[in-house]
Amino acid sequence: MKIAVLGAGAWGTALAIAFARHHDVALWARNAAQAADMRSARKNARYLPDAVLPEALGIEADFAVAARGGELNVIATPLAGLRGALRLLHAVAPTTPVIWVCKGLESGSQRLPHQIVAEELGERFPCGALTGPSFAEEVAKGLPTAITLASNAPGFAEKTAQALHNARLRVYANHDVIGAEVGGAVKNVMAIAAGISDGMGFGLNARAALITRGLAEITRLGLALGGKRETFMGLAGMGDLILTCTGDLSRNRRVGLALAQGQALEQILKDLGHTAEGVSSAREVAALAQRLDIEMPITQAVKGVLHDGVPASAAVEQLLGRDPKLENS
């Protein structure tokens, strides 16, 4: 299969490396100088410095050259770049199927990625969301990983998952796009909360409680939006949540750890050097939950720390002071 991966951040680069083991792949980098460096050094020094780019992997700085004439376009930009990438694709490759790997809710509108895609390409366009528990560094190394391809288009998830699936990158088809995207968006918020908890030394019991109650919040919101309960028990829900809340490679967890140490958010993000989608998602998820009258106390607490100047210690005390309720409420 001829594939273009559009976005040369850590995740886009890792997927391009993984796909290039079995397919004809071009990786598009927005910055021409970065593309030239990657082409000559066979490394992405900024975003994935320890991974070697296969000789067979093409590196392109021209979006149209990368996207035209392929069988699948993979959008690997941050969520903020999704709409712009879709508009470019509509102009240069209007019929090529698309999958996206960004997670979160659009700033200001609280739209999930598939809603943005539907607005730009139409409701019936063959497309889907690739999501699930996956660190870029491990995928690039060829370590075993299982992810989900969710699509509402008849047959698209099964056909595309089968084409991308291999022994080291196992891709499972799913028809619940809403559930898969909600899981991917909110787990990043929970990872920041887990980082704060770990950074404040609250221990493993507290982390387990936070993950469990975080899953309850994800499920509550997902069901209200039309997702399926079983999705939140799978790779796109529980799987992604556990990995992001516990793995040391998690950027969002690292944001929480730094917040617990009293560091300023602006400096944390500067030092991180990568996008931490949970920072913007916290504000949008909290706004959506408030609009739908859905109780999401952990999300609201994280949003308060990130965007309202609430000290991490005060947010924790507020959560711990909540009245007890039925566990499944």
| pLDDT, one tens digit for every residue, the chain (329 residues) | 999 999 999 999 999 999 999 999 999 999 999 999 999 999 999 999 999 999 999 999 999 999 999 999 999 999 999 999 999 999 999 999 999 999 999 999 999 999 999 999 999 999 999 999 999 999 999 999 999 999 999 999 999 999 999 999 999 999 999 999 999 999 999 999 999 999 999 999 999 999 999 999 999 999 999 999 999 999 999 999 999 999 999 999 999 999 999 999 999 999 988 888 999 999 999 999 999 999 999 999 999 999 999 999 999 988 988 888 888 76
Question: What CATH code is carried by the domain that includes residue 22?
Answer: 3.40.50.720
Domain boundary among 146, 175, 204: 175
DSSP 116-145: HHHHHH-TTS-EEEEESS--HHHHHHT--E
Same domain, 162 and 198: no
Examine residue 325 and state whether it is found in any structural domain, yes or no. Answer: no
Paired with 170 in beta bridges are 146
Same domain, 127 and 25: yes
Supply 143's token pair: 């370590």
Using CA atoms, how far residue 153 sits from 15, 103, 122, 127, 175, in Å, is 23, 20, 12, 7, 8
| Predicted local confidence at residue 320, as pLDDT | 85
Same domain, 171 and 22: yes
Domain boundary among 123, 151, 175: 175
Split into its structural domains, the chain has a count of: 2
Examine residue 251 and state whether it is found in any structural domain, yes or no. Answer: yes
Q: How far apart are CA 183 and CA 233, in angstroms?
A: 10
Same domain, 166 and 189: no
Cβ atoms of 89 and 28 within 8 Å: the answer is no
| Predicted local confidence at residue 324, as pLDDT | 82
Same domain, 148 and 193: no
**Residue of 230, 164, 235 whose CA lies nearest to 5:** 164
Same domain, 240 and 206: yes
| Strands 48-52 and 43-44, sheet pairing | antiparallel
What pTM did the predictor assign?
0.95
| Predicted local confidence at residue 329, as pLDDT | 66
Place of tokens 């507290």: 206
- Residues with catalytic roles: 187
Domain boundary among 175, 194, 227: 175
Examine residue 329 and state whether it is found in any structural domain, yes or no. Answer: no
Q: Which domain holds residue 241?
A: 178-320
Cβ atoms of 177 and 188 within 8 Å: the answer is no
Question: What CATH code is carried by the domain that includes residue 295?
Answer: 1.10.1040.10
Same domain, 80 and 111: yes
